[in-house]
């Protein structure tokens, strides 16, 4: 069963059609019964039925099935997360060549097929039962249908809708019944890491290793590679754009070729438009990354020399961006690269504070040694509490559907409430991840190992080069969050440390 849990709150269509067995029975009565069953099925899955497509005429050919054609256009542009029908046969019945078209539309848009018996995810390519439906279609028929579908696609382009599968960092969603993307924070945070590291002068291979070590997993393989990172760094979707014409498809048999051929078009052939979806990456960071890729700009330590011992470690509390070392009036400063974001500080003051913190930590560990064992109970309680809140929010979400189905809510009210619940859910998911991470770290914590690591860093620090200092600090510090209000004294900044647990 595919994605049972994930379907909660998603939008679907219901396709109604008589089966071969029911031929000769009263159409109205049959479709009314199916409507009832599918509504119950939707409730079970927590799906919201946006529209019914009742097929009254029962033709064998696709052209004699106007509702199916209408549904296919919507599926092709990804309007629905799922389509409900009584059984797979209901969708795919007809001559074999139609089935190829129908199933391709579901597969390409990542739309699920939900029957009372089973959930099918055609983009997974695991459902063997479906293999038999795959079949060659005639060129002429494909062309006619393709033309209709392209017209639908053209409309989406103008609307800023997103029709392909959601890229890493996003989930598909609908806004005013138009398909678009919403940020999926557990992945989006890694997208930002990739962009920031690249802007800091790291290569794609190093970034891939870094995010893999941080627990990032791409959608279609087990780990990020240099290529998959480069692909993410070049994708304008992350600044809220939609890209068309990245690929040209030549269908099987279209030009006498035996296989389906995909041609990757160069960026100058892409069409880029504004999307409806929110950006994950700042435009400035994105542009800087593109400049570095095109060789128009070389980041400070791309020449192999790291000038800042704090490179990649200190993040701005306001925007989350990397704080940079920059020399102004012959004095090195640490500043946020976003204009007017937060006040800068003298580099040495920050560096000094970092070293002092490490000394403090070392001393504290030594004082508590050797009997010190961290109490896990508070962390476990936090995790349990967040988990309960998450469950409550999920129940609330399911309840919204019920209220809508019962007619207690009209659609605008439902949407408004649902948006609020979704926001709450994503904040809770972030808190849950954070709490789970802290607990995991606490369980793995070994004070003796940490103390000896910090000692090694402090011992070697003052005789090291900037690059070595940077590597030393990276070995014991995960990140440092920097905060300073404008017009405050030079030393009035706060640092929040997140040490590595070894």
Which residues form the interface with Zn ion (CB under 5 A)?
316, 318-319, 336, 338, 341
**Identity of the residue, 178 or 338, whose beta carbon is nearer to Zn ion in the bound complex:** 338
What is the CA 1 to chain-centroid distance, rounded?
22
**Cβ closest to Zn ion, residue 30 vs residue 341:** 341
Separation CA 356–CA 364 (nearest Å) = 12
Among residues 33 and 338, whose Cβ is nearest to Zn ion?
338
* Residue among 204, 211, 206 nearest 168 (CA): 211
**What is d(CA 170, CA 180) in angstroms, rounded to the nearest whole number?**
10
Neighbours of 491 (CB within 10 A): 12
d(CA 436, CA 383): 6
- Please report how close the Cβ of residue 314 comes to Zn ion at its closest, in angstroms: 11
Residue 250 DSSP code: E
Closest CA to 17 of 45, 46, 48, 38: 38
Handedness of CA 39, 44, 50, 54 (dihedral sign): negative
Of 416 and 485, the one with the shorter C-beta distance to Zn ion is 485
Which positions ≥6 away from 30 have C-beta within 8 Å?
18, 22
- Other Cβ atoms closer than 10 A to 501: 17
For residues 397 and 484, which CB has a smaller minimum distance to Zn ion in the complex? 484
Nearest to residue 272, comparing CAs of 403, 157, 434? 157
Which tokens sit at 341? 């974001």
Q: Which is nearer to Zn ion, 316 or 428 (CB)?
A: 316
CB of 344 to Zn ion, least distance (A): 10
Q: Which CB atom, from 37 or from 318, has the smaller least distance to Zn ion?
A: 318
Kindly tell me which of 229 and 316 has the beta carbon lying closer to Zn ion: 316
Query: Would strands 477-483 and 314-316 be described as parallel, antiparallel, or unpaired?
Result: parallel
Which of residues 103 and 314 has its CB atom nearest to Zn ion in the complex? 314
Whole-angstrom distance, CA of residue 183 vs CA of residue 166: 10
Between 160 and 320, name the residue whose CB sits nearer to Zn ion: 320
Tokens 């979707």 -> residue: 237
Minimum distance from residue 356 beta carbon to Zn ion (Å): 24
Least distance from C-beta 443 to Zn ion, angstroms?
33
Q: CB 123 → Zn ion: shortest distance, Å? A: 38
Beta carbon of residue 135, minimum distance to Zn ion (angstroms, whole number): 56
In whole angstroms, give the CA distance from residue 130 to residue 87.
13
CA dihedral 482, 486, 490, 493 (to 10 degrees): -30
Give the nearest distance from C-beta 342 to Zn ion in angstroms.
5
Tell me how far, at minimum, the Cβ of 286 lies from Zn ion, in Å: 16
Q: Contact, 483 vs 462, CB < 8 A?
A: no
Residue 323 CB, shortest distance to Zn ion, in Å, is 8
CB of 334 to Zn ion, least distance (A): 11
Is residue 377 within 8 Å of residue 439, measured between CB atoms?
A: no
- Can you list the alpha helix ranges (DSSP code H) found in 204-326? 204-213, 226-233, 283-293
Residues ≥6 apart with Cβ < 8 Å to 90: 15, 17, 19
Of 123 and 318, CB closest to Zn ion: 318
- Vertex 282, ends 280 and 286: CA angle to 5°? 100
Three-state secondary structure call for residue 328: strand
Least distance in angstroms from the C-beta of 482 to Zn ion: 9
């Amino acid at each position: 069963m595919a994605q049972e849990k994930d379907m909660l709150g998603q939008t679907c269509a219901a396709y109604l059609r008589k089966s071969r067995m029911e031929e000769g029975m009263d159409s109205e009565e049959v479709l009314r019964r199916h409507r009832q069953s599918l509504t119950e099925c939707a409730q079970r899955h927590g799906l919201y039925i946006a529209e019914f497509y009742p097929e009254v005429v029962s033709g064998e050919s696709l052209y004699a099935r106007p509702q199916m054609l209408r549904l296919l256009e919507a599926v092709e542009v990804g309007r629905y997360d799922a389509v409900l029908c009584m059984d797979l046969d209901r969708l795919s019945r007809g001559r074999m060549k139609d089935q190829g078209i129908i199933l391709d539309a579901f597969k390409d848009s990542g739309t699920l097929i939900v029957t009372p018996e089973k959930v099918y995810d055609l983009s997974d390519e695991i459902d063997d039962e479906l293999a038999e439906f795959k079949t060659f279609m005639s060129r002429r028929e494909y062309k006619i249908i393709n033309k209709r579908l392209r017209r639908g696609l053209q409309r989406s382009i103008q609307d800023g809708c997103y029709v392909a599968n959601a890229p890493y960092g996003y989930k598909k969603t609908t806004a005013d019944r138009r398909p678009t993307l919403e940020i999926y924070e557990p992945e989006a945070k890694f997208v930002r890491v990739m962009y920031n590291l690249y802007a800091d002068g790291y290569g794609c291979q190093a970034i891939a290793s870094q995010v893999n070590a941080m627990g990032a997993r791409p959608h279609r393989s087990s780990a990020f590679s240099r290529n998959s990172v480069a692909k993410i760094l070049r994708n304008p979707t992350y600044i809220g754009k939609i890209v068309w014409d990245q690929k040209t498809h030549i269908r099987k048999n279209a030009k006498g070729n035996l296989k389906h051929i995909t041609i990757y078009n160069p960026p100058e052939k892409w069409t880029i438009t504004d999307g409806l979806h929110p950006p994950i990456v700042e435009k400035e960071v994105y542009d800087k990354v593109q400049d570095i890729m095109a060789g128009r700009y070389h980041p400070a330590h791309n020449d192999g020399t790291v000038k800042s011992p704090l490179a990649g470690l200190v993040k701005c509390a306001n925007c989350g961006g990397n704080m940079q070392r920059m020399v102004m009036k012959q004095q090195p400063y640490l500043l946020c690269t976003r204009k007017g974001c937060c006040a800068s500080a003298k580099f040495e003051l920050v560096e000094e504070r970092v070293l002092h913190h490490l000394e403090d930590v070392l001393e504290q560990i030594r004082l508590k040694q050797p009997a010190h064992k961290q109490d896990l109970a508070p962390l476990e309680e936090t995790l349990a509490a967040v988990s309960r809140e998450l469950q409550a929010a999920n129940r609330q979400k399911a309840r919204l559907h019920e209220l809508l189905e019962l007619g207690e809510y009209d659609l605008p009210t439902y949407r408004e409430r649902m948006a609020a619940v979704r926001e709450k859910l994503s904040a809770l998911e972030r808190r849950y991840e954070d709490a789970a991470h802290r607990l995991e770290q606490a369980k793995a914590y070994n004070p003796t190992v940490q103390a000896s690591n910090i000692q090694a860093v402090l011992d070697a620090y003052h005789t090291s080069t900037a690059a070595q200092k940077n590597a030393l600090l990276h070995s014991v510090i995960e990140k440092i969050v920097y905060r300073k209000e404008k017009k405050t004294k030079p030393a009035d900044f706060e640092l929040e440390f997140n040490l590595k647990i070894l």
